Amino acid sequence: MQLNQVGFRYGRSGPGIRQISWQQGAGVLGLLGPNGAGKSTLMRLLATLVVPQEGQILWNGHDVAKKPDALRHELGYLPQDFGVYAALNAWEFLEFLAAVKGLHGAKAKARIEFCLQAVGLIERAGDRLGDYSGGMRQRVGIAQALLNDPSLLIVDEPTVGLDPDERMRFRHLLTELAADRLIILSTHIVSDVEATATELAVMAAGSLQFFGTPEQMLAGAEGHVFEWTIASTELGLWREKCQVSAAVRRPEGIRLKVVADAAPTAAAQVVTPTLEDAYTWLLSKSRKGA
Ligand SMILES: Nc1ncnc2c1ncn2[C@@H]1O[C@H](COP(=O)(O)OP(=O)(O)OP(=O)(O)O)[C@@H](O)[C@H]1O
Q: Domain residue spans in the chain? A: 2-218, 219-289
What gap in Å lies between CA 203 and CA 55, rounded to an integer? 17
Which pLDDT belongs to residue 82?
84
Which pLDDT belongs to residue 165?
81
Q: Decide: 39 in ligand 1 pocket, CB within 6 A.
A: yes
Residue 148's CB is within 10 A of a number of other CB atoms, namely: 18
Distance 271 CA to ligand 1 centre (A): 35
Which pLDDT belongs to residue 64?
95
Using the atom order of ligand 1, give the atom closest to the CA of residue 41: 18
Which pLDDT belongs to residue 108?
95
Smallest CA separation from ligand 1 atom 11, residue: 15
Q: Residue 249: CB partners within 8 Å, gap ≥ 6?
A: 232, 255
Q: Decide: 269 in ligand 1 pocket, CB within 6 A.
A: no
Alpha helices (H) along the chain: 39-46, 68-72, 90-100, 105-118, 134-145, 164-177, 191-194, 214-221, 235-241, 275-289
Using the atom order of ligand 1, give the atom closest to the CA of residue 206: 14
Q: Residue 289: CB partners within 8 Å, gap ≥ 6?
A: none
Smallest CA separation from ligand 1 atom 8, residue: 41
Using the atom order of ligand 1, give the atom closest to the CA of residue 17: 14
CATH number of 2-218: 3.40.50.300
Q: Which residues of the chain have pLDDT under 50?
A: none
Using the atom order of ligand 1, give the atom closest to the CA of residue 156: 22
Maximum distance among all Cα pairs of the chain, rounded to whole angstroms: 71
pLDDT digits (tens, 9 = 90+) for 93-107: 999 999 998 899 999
Q: Decide: 15 in ligand 1 pocket, CB within 6 A.
A: yes
Which pLDDT belongs to residue 242?
92
Which pLDDT belongs to residue 290?
60
pLDDT digits (tens, 9 = 90+) for 139-174: 899 899 999 999 999 999 888 777 888 788 888 888
